[in-house]
Structure 1
Amino acid sequence: MMMVPVLLASLAALPELGFAHGGLSNYTVGDTWYRGYDPDTPAEAQLGQPWMIQRQWRTIDPIFSVDDPFIACNDPGTAPPSYIPIEAGGNITAVYYWWLHPVGPMTAWLAACGDDCTTVDVNQVEWFKIWEGGLLEGNLAEGLWYQKEFQRWDGSPALWPVTIPSALRPGLYMIRHEILSIHIEKKPQFYPECAHLNITGSGKAYPMKEYLLKFPGAYDKHDPSIEIDIYTEEAMETFNYTIPGGPVWTGA
C-alpha cells in the first residue's frame, strides 16, 4: 500500500499538458500535490507507477448512459497501486485545468474498499455522497450553477474542495468526483473520476443503508433531473433543481 506525495510548490507552475483536456487532473491535500492520470500521456508511463493514485480514464469523452458500467470510475477505470493519505475532517481538492460546460450538478462520493482498493469491483462497492453543488440562484436555463462558478477562464486551475466527514471510521476508500452536464436537451453527460484514499482518524461512524448506492444503479435514466431540457418555457420558470443520487451523508 504505497503513498507517494509530491510537494506542491505552486499550482501555477504545473505542466501545461493538463490545459488540453477537461478531466480531473490532480489532487491536493494541504500543501501536498498528487498527480492523477493524464489521457494525453502514454499509458505505459503511468499505469502501475508508485506515485499513481487515480484510476485510469482513457479519454475526455463523457459517459452518456446511467446504465454504463464505466459510470462508476470512467473508462477503463484501471486501479492504481497507491493511496492519498488524509485524516477524516481534512480537505481534499480536485484540480481541473480546463472545464468548458457551465450547467449541471457536481457531486463527490466515497466507497469503502475493505483491505485493498486495487482488487474491488467498482460496480459492486457501495457509494455514499459526501458533497454536492447544483443550481445556486436563478432559473434552470439562465441561472448560476456551481459548475459555472467552478470554471476558470484566466489560465488558473479550477479547484473543487471537499471535506472528508470527520466522524467517518478510518480505512481504505475510493473517492469519486462526478460532473453531470445537462446543457444538451435530454442528453446528459457524466464525467466521473476516482482515486484511492487511506483515511485515518478516530471516527466510528458509517452511513446507514439508505445512503449507500451502486454505479450503475444509483440513477434512473427517466429521472427528470437527468433526462431534462433546460431550454423550455417551464425551465425558464423553474428555480429549483434536485441533484440526483439521494442525500449527502455528513457523518452526523
Structure 2
Amino acid sequence: MVSLVLAALATLLGPALAHGGLANYTVGDTWYRGYDPDETPSDQLGQPWMVQRQWASIDPIFSVDDPFIACNNPGVPPPAYIPIEAGENITAVYWYWLHPVGPMTVWLAPCNGDCAKVNVNEVEWFKIWEAGLLSGNVPEGMWWQKQFQNWDGSPDLWPATIPISLKPGLYMIRHEILSIHIENKPQFYPECAHLNVTGKGSVLPPTEYLRKFPGAYDPNDPSININIYTDQMKNTTNYTIPGGPIWDG
C-alpha cells in the first residue's frame, strides 16, 4: 500500500479543484488519495494506492431507495486500506464544495473479511459523527456544511474520530453530505473508503444503531423531504439529522 504524503499534494490540486467531492483522506500527517472522476478510470482503479470506492461523477443520488446511496455510483472497491488506530482522527479533504444547507454524517460498517468482497447494501452501518444546523434558522442559518467551506483555495477539512473502543478489523467508512437547498429534492453525496482499524478495543455497536443503505432513510422524513423556504422554516431553529443516533463507543 502506498500512502500519499504531503509532497504529493501538489499533484492533486489541479483536477480536484474542478469538482466537489471527497478527494483525499488524512490520518496524522499521512495523505491518502481518493478517486478522481476527472481523471482516467484505468489510471486509478486497482492501483495499489487506491483506498476509496469509485464515484464516477459529481452528480448526486436523488432517492433514498437508490442502491448507490450506500457508496455512490458505481462503487467499485479499491485494493488498499487506510491504516488507523481506534481513537485516532481521520480527516476527509474536499478541495471544493458549493452547497451550504443540510447535514453531514460519517458512518462505519464492519466487513468481517475483505471489504472488496462485501455487498455495500447488505452490510450494517452505524453513525459515528454528525453535524447540521449550528445557529440561526433553517434557510438562512449557519450549517456545519457551510462552515467547513473555504473559498481561498485551501482544503475543506472534515475530521471524525474512530471510536476508541471499536473492535479491530477491516471496515468501510462512509461520508455523506445531504444537501436540501432545492425544494423537496434532496441530494445525497456519499463516498466510501476502506479502513484497517487496529487498537485495543473489543466492541461493536448494539442493534439499535445499525442501518442498511438503502433502508436507513424514510423518503417521507420531514428532514429529507423538505422545503426550507416556507414561512414555517424561517421561524424554525432546529433540525433533526436523519439516520438515527450516533455510536461513539
Aligned residue identity for 2:33: R
TM-score by length of 2: 0.98
Amino acid in the other structure paired with 1:187: K
Q: Distance in 2 between matches of 1:9 and 1:156?
A: 16
Q: Which runs of 4+ in 1 moved over 6 A?
A: none
Residue 105 of structure 2 aligns to a residue whose secondary structure is strand
DSSP 3-state at the match of 1:177: strand
Between the aligned partners of 1:232 and 1:71, the Cα distance in structure 2 is 28
Identity of aligned residues (%): 73
Aligned equivalent of 1:191, options 186, 189, 192: 189
Q: 2:21 aligns with which of 17, 20, 23?
A: 23
Q: Which digits, 9 at most, give the CA deviation of each residue in 1:65-102, with x for residues without a partner?
A: 00000000000000000000000000000000000000
Whole-angstrom CA distance in 2 between matches of 1:192 and 1:22: 12
May I ask how many residue pairs the two structures share in their alignment?
Answer: 249
2 CA distance for matches of 1:207 and 1:72? 19
Task: State the alpha-carbon separation in 2 of the partners of residues 11 and 230 from structure 1.
Answer: 38
Matches within 5 A, 1:17-96: 17-96=15-94
2: distance between equivalents of 1:11 and 1:26? Answer: 10
1:12 shift after superposition: 6.7
**Residues 137 and 239 in structure 1, CA contact (< 8 A), matched pair in contact too:** yes
The residue identity in structure 2 corresponding to 1:144 is M
Secondary structure, aligned partner of 1:155: coil
Shift of 1:4: 2.2
Within the alignment, does 1:131 sit opposite 2:121 as a pair?
A: no
- How many angstroms does 1:115 deviate by? 1.1
Matching residue of 1:159: 157
Partner of 2:148: 150
**CA distance in structure 2 between the partners assigned to 1:12 and 1:138 by the alignment:** 38
User: 2:66 is aligned with what amino acid?
Assistant: D
Q: CA RMSD in A?
A: 1.0
TM-score of the aligned structures, taking structure 1 as reference length: 0.97
Q: Of the candidates 230, 240, 243, which is equivalent to residue 242 of structure 1? A: 240
Residue 199 of structure 2 corresponds to: 201
Which segments of 5 or more consecutive residues in structure 1 lack a partner in the other structure? none
The question of whether the paired residues in 2 share the 8 Å contact of 1:105 and 1:133 is answered with yes
Shift of 1:11: 5.1
Q: Would you say the 8 A contact 1:12–1:156 is kept in 2? A: no
Q: SS of 2:117's equivalent?
A: coil
Equivalents in 2 of 1:193, 1:225: separation in Å?
Answer: 21
Matched, 1:100 2:84: no
CA distance in 1, matches of 2:11, 2:231: 45
Query: In the TM superposition, what is the alpha-carbon distance from 1:15 to its structure 2 partner?
Result: 2.6
- C-alpha distance in 1 between matches for 2:56 and 2:10: 25
Cα distance per residue 1:23-70 (max 9 Å; x no partner): 100000001000000000010000000000000000000000000000
SS at match of 1:246: coil
Mapped to 2, the partners of 1:141 and 1:192 lie a distance apart of: 23
